[in-house]
């Protein structure tokens, strides 16, 4: 059986939200498997740290500071990737934000931020890479959802609904990609030991969290051609379900 690492060697993979947490772990893992990794994030310091980690391990990485909920920034990300590597084989839509706010605390600007970061970014980046993948014979898109899409939690109504959109969007994109060689998957992590988790739930039991590399390993696995008949599915990865 062909391994994910064999598939990744020499391929080009864009990872959004790759400055820290799950995105950084994915970028590091893909690079270790031989991919040319492009990391997108808004925070320069985070991008710098991710680049240093990958290059220290002998990997190849291009970092692009951008907000993937903005059209012009996504266009810049795609353009710089194509200029550097000439193709796009993998897109990981991992950028997102998860503020904890009940309905009476949820101001319209915060709601809009959740929609832009978790929904609009997935649409813009998927649309941006689509024709490049078609022209090169196919590719793989993996979208980060969340168990919040299925498991309601007070204060996470907007975030959970946004991640439920990602699940539905993944199914539909997989249908559109079937005839052009583009596979689309989703992964819904539970509690992962990240700054984002601790910012919302500082007292969450450590024994119930997953390491970022556990999630990154799932992303890598889905790149194997062995999963070609599972396109459209979203996989839950959690200790609590």
Look at the block and give the residue holding tokens 């204060």: 155
The dihedral built from the CA positions of residue 1, 141, 233 and 204, taken in this order, carries a sign that is: positive
Catalytic status, residue 7: no
Which two structure tokens, joined as six digits, stand for 239? 């200790």
117, with CB counted inside 10 A (0-12, 13-18, 19+), is buried
Name the residue among 92, 75, 77 with its Cα closest to residue 141.
92
The active-site residue, picked from 159, 169, 185, 229, is: 159
The crossing angle, in degrees rounded to 10, of helices 71-85 and 121-135 is: 30
Residues with a catalytic annotation lie at 159
């Amino acid at each position: 059986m062909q391994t994910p690492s064999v598939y990744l060697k020499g391929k080009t993979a864009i990872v959004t939200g790759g400055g820290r947490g799950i995105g950084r772990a994915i970028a590091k893992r893909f690079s270790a498997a031989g991919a040319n990794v492009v990391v997108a994030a808004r925070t320069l310091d985070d991008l710098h740290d991710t680049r240093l980690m990958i290059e220290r391990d002998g990997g190849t990485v291009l970092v692009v500071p951008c907000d993937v909920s903005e059209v012009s920034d996504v266009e810049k990300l795609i353009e710089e990737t194509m200029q550097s590597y000439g193709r796009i084989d993998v897109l990981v839509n991992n950028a997102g934000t998860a503020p904890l706010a009940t309905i009476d605390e949820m101001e319209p600007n915060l709601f809009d931020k959740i929609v832009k970061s978790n929904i609009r970014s997935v649409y813009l980046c998927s649309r941006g890479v689509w024709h490049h993948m078609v022209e090169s014979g196919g590719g793989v898109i993996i979208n980060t959802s969340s168990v919040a899409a299925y498991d309601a939690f007070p204060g996470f109504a907007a975030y959970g609904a946004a991640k439920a959109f990602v699940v539905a969007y993944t199914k539909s994109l997989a249908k559109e990609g079937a005839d052009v060689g583009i596979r689309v998957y989703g992964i819904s992590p539970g509690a992962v030991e990240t700054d984002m988790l601790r910012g919302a739930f500082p007292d969450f039991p450590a024994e119930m969290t997953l390491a970022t590399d556990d999630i990154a390993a799932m992303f890598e696995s889905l790149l194997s051609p062995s999963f070609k008949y599972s396109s459209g599915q979203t996989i839950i990865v959690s200790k609590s379900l």
